[in-house]
Amino acid sequence: MEPWDNGWRIVEHNCAILSVASGFRQACRCEIAFIRDALPDAEVTRVSHILDGAHVCAYEIRPRSAVRA
């Protein structure tokens, strides 16, 4: 993770399950659900997605208190 504005950003430069995710987008939904479950006090948003043509998958992580402010 790297610091970013009011939170952190997870950037994945490669996808370990790209061949599966290409056929089954549920894999990507499971990934973001896992991150959200692992960080219950944070707001997690996918801001970049390899399957949508981006070069990376990236998630912005912000404390829920920062999101409400």
Q: In whole angstroms, how far apart are CA 24 and each of 5, 9, 17, 32, 34?
A: 33, 25, 10, 14, 16
pTM: 0.81
Closest residue by Cα to residue 43 from 14, 15, 67, 8: 67
Single-letter amino acid, residue 8: W
Q: Over the stretch 60-69, which tens digit does the pLDDT of each residue have?
A: 999 987 555 5
- Give the domain ranges of the chain: 2-68
* pLDDT 10s digits, 38-52: 999 999 999 999 999
- State the Cα–Cα distance between residues 17 and 64, nearest whole angstrom: 29
